[in-house]
Amino acid sequence: MIGADLLDRRLLVVSGKGGVGKTTVSAALARAAARTGRAVLLAEVEGRGGISRLLGAPPPGFEEPRTRLGFAVTSITPREALVEYLRLFFGMRTLSRTLARAKVLETATEGIPGFRDLMTAGKLYELTEWRRVPANADGRRRYDLVVVDAPPTGQLVSMLKAPGAFLDILRMGRPHRQLESIDRMVRRHAGIVLVAIPEEMSVAESLDTAEALRAEGMACHAVVANRVLPSAFPKGTRAAALRLEPKALAAILGEAGVEATEEDGAALLEAARAQDGRARAQRDHLAALAGAGPVTELPFLFTPTFGPPEVDALARELVP
């Protein structure tokens, strides 16, 4: 179960090493918050369709369609964020349309260091803070919580730092004040969630990231340990399982009416012992992971498919 106040924040930034299940955990957090009656948006940043693949829904684009898990989804791209920004704050309706078609915009967002991150942060500010002001709302949906499926940990700190970094460059005027607000939102109000799997590399990267966040005056508010294995051998069976010979196991199976060779017995024992070893190694990694922040464990789901029902099951683990 996650900390009670985590879902009270307006913005949760979810990151982790590649391949640990960031998108799944982001969706589970969004689902958990939606179940409490909150209006929730799950935003994918520079995503490659992970959310739509997971939920079996069409790619959301820059729109904010609702999903059958009770939250809305969107996909933030720096290009569209920039066009929207120019339109909203500078009334550059025609210009933004012209720019949207120009290749130059692509090069700008690709080329200027930190620019993509800045545009993303700006869009998050629009979603979580700016549109909450009634005068700005203009029919936009208000959300109690925005959950961001953020880039991997390697890029997390630079993404969070981008608004502050541009403060040095844009030293005055309206953009400067906006940057200050965005920087404040990211640094003070966002909840940062690191997703890890209980393996060496992922744990090491989580610890490094938590440290890097601290060094920048930020914090990791929650760690979600994903894919935690159950113990292979329930209480009182482990010693017997380690003792058991393939032949004896095959005999027990035979008595129970399941025809099995000695090789079958060996394969079963090998598989179960390997999983026992993995589960035990995970306990050590989980202990180390606590150094990054308060850990919530999510079980490995042994299901032949992985989609909305599994997201819902994980959401119920996060908030029963």
Using the rule CB under 8 A, give the single segment among 68-76, 93-101, 123-131, 181-189 that binds another protein.
Answer: 93-101
The single residue among 8, 65, 91, 95 that binds another protein, judged by CB under 8 A, is 95
Looking at the Cβ atoms of 39 and 86, the one nearer to another protein is: 86
Looking at the Cβ atoms of 39 and 260, the one nearer to another protein is: 260
Nearest by Cα to 197 from 85, 298, 99: 298
Within positions 9 to 38, which residues make up the interface with another protein, using CB under 8 A? 17-20, 23
Looking at the Cβ atoms of 30 and 249, the one nearer to another protein is: 249
| Alpha carbons 184 and 164: distance in angstroms, whole number | 9
Q: In which order are the strands placed within the sheet that holds 40-45? A: 72-76, 40-45, 145-149, 11-16, 191-196, 222-228, 295-299
Using the rule CB under 8 A, give the single segment among 56-64, 121-129, 234-242, 312-320 that binds another protein.
Answer: 234-242
| Alpha carbons 304 and 306: distance in angstroms, whole number | 7
Asked if residue 98 binds another protein (CB under 8 A), the reply is yes
The single residue among 48, 140, 142, 247 that binds another protein, judged by CB under 8 A, is 48
| Alpha carbons 28 and 318: distance in angstroms, whole number | 8
Asked if residue 215 binds another protein (CB under 8 A), the reply is no
The single residue among 133, 215, 305, 320 that binds another protein, judged by CB under 8 A, is 305
Nearest by Cα to 202 from 7, 3, 22, 12: 22
Asked if residue 212 binds another protein (CB under 8 A), the reply is no
Window 152-191: contact mask with another protein (x via CB under 8 A): x-xx--x----------xxxxx-x----------------
CB 19 within 8 A of CB 100: no
